[in-house]
Amino acid sequence: MSKYHIISSEPLDIVTIYNVFNDNKKLKLSDELKAKVITCKTYLDTKLANNKKPMYGINTGFGSLYNVKISDKDLTQLQENLVMSHACGTGDRVPESVVKVMLLLKIQSLSFGHSGVQLSTINRLIDFFNNDIFPFVYTQGSLGASGDLAPLAHLALPLLGKGKVVHKDKEYEASDILKEFNWKPIQLEAKEGLALLNGTQFMSAYGVYLLLMSHKTSYLADIIACVSLDAFDGRIDPFHDLVHAVRPHPGQRKVARRFNEFLNGSELIGRAKEHVQDPYSFRCIPQVHGATKDTLDFVEKVILTEINSVTDNPNIFPEEDMIISGGNFHGQPLALALDYLKIAMAEIGNISERRVFQLVSGLRGLPAFLVDNPGLNSGFMIPQYTAASIVSANKQMATPASIDSIVSSNGQEDHVSMGANAATQAFDLIRNVERIIAIELMNASQAIEFRKPLKTSPFLESFLEQYRKVVPFIKVDEVLHDDIEASIQFLKDVDIEIEELFLNDYGLK
């Protein structure tokens, strides 16, 4: 297996990105793209030398200052001023794992040969990636319209020897890390600052990371819901393929098949039932979980299109002898997709909490609040409260960010996507879903103990055996916070053949 990923004209996909990070691969630029970058830069330099007309962002000011012509001698200062003045991010630091995706996607976009940057600038970004040097980037500051200006300015600052970075868990001034690696600051040339700042790599990096999070969370939600179904003495009939063949949404059919596989061999699911139907939170799992999987499929298509695109401005077309100022930096496609992702993942948490509620309600032979001697013991009464609180918070965060806009840059940028807000909200929301399904697992595993000596399926028994190593059966009241946190960590650590899941769920196999 090669330790390098070659940045080429071959489009990136989710599995490739996952493998780059999982295998800790380093990046190299293909000869083909090196040539395109050099050709574009040479064309731009020639154009500047022979054409004194204003060209937006190349020899003019920015935003509402687009009509201010800048002299040739000040072009480097213009670009460096742009990076410094736009580094206005605040809020929490973006996780280093997301910053690393940002670096990859910025390198990819600049390498297509339509941005007019120096090869040395791209190579320095590759140096940062390959040596795990992560600029300080902040969650707040992007409107998701002229690209992710503030976050990308912070990503670019260390190229100039400014700002801060993290390297091997230690914080450095960028100037110090450059000295440590014997690198000189990049001297930005015409358009380079704008190329670095215009783009959607903050939103799209979050989008990639969120897809990976969502995929795993959605899969784990299926496993945990299977445990809940068996613990609740639920019926398998609603998962019969005939039901889903007459309403053949792909995600719905996938979930139904998955439940039949996971529950195969269960003594509980196969026994005679006194009840004819289950509540919707059990009976409609294929329809609800499946709709989320179909949403992930849509979001993936948007994200893949975006990360394999040129999203800065203006765009340079050497072969056509054209430099065109357009709007590829506008994040509306991402904003809508990320909002859709928020809604879809919030529903995974929503229906999960309803199953928790049913499990603690003293129904179908289960003790009230899943504990012996209820009254003296409150048992699992309050974890359901916690789940309900988180679900409600998710409903608030799931409100679409993309329906908002605000005027900026003195009216020049008069419609913005708010996709960056959608991205950071989605990150928090999906973390919340992880917490909710962890609480469901704690409740479902507790409930299924009361069904002994009957067993669930061998697959689920194995899953629960691993879980019981970190969270025991609760006999009497104790501090459940610790068990919730242990459950959350268990789901983070659980070993899943994740690449196989990507291949299946993303239609790549």
Identify the pLDDT of residue 496.
Answer: 65
Q: Measure the CA–CA gap between 147 and 505, rounded to whole angstroms.
A: 30
What is the residue whose two structure tokens read 């059966």?
A: 473
Spot the catalytic one: 56, 172, 209, 506: 56
Q: Measure the CA–CA gap between 15 and 506, rounded to whole angstroms.
A: 9
Identify the pLDDT of residue 506.
Answer: 44
Q: Measure the CA–CA gap between 443 and 459, rounded to whole angstroms.
A: 18
Average pLDDT over residues 328-350: 96
On average, the pLDDT of the chain sits at 92
Q: Measure the CA–CA gap between 136 and 212, rounded to whole angstroms.
A: 23
Range scoring the smallest mean pLDDT among 22-26, 75-79, 283-287, 473-477: 75-79
Average pLDDT over residues 495-508: 53
Confidence of residue 234 (pLDDT cuts 50, 70, 90): very high
Average pLDDT over residues 447-465: 96
Displacement of CA 175 from its chain's centroid (Å): 31
Identify the pLDDT of residue 509.
Answer: 36
Confidence of residue 507 (pLDDT cuts 50, 70, 90): very low
Domains and CATH numbers, the chain: 4-199 (1.10.275.10), 206-505 (1.20.200.10)
Per cent of the chain over pLDDT 90 is 80
Confidence of residue 504 (pLDDT cuts 50, 70, 90): low
Confidence of residue 68 (pLDDT cuts 50, 70, 90): low
Confidence of residue 151 (pLDDT cuts 50, 70, 90): very high
506 has catalytic annotation:
no
Confidence of residue 147 (pLDDT cuts 50, 70, 90): confident
pLDDT at 56 over 80: no
Range scoring the smallest mean pLDDT among 64-68, 256-260, 500-504: 500-504
pLDDT at 308 over 60: yes
Confidence of residue 378 (pLDDT cuts 50, 70, 90): confident
Average pLDDT over residues 214-228: 96
- Is the bond into 453 cis (omega within 30 degrees of 0)? yes
pLDDT at 64 over 60: no
Q: Measure the CA–CA gap between 387 and 348, rounded to whole angstroms.
A: 12
Contacts (Cβ under 8 Å, ≥6 apart) of 249: 287, 290, 291, 294
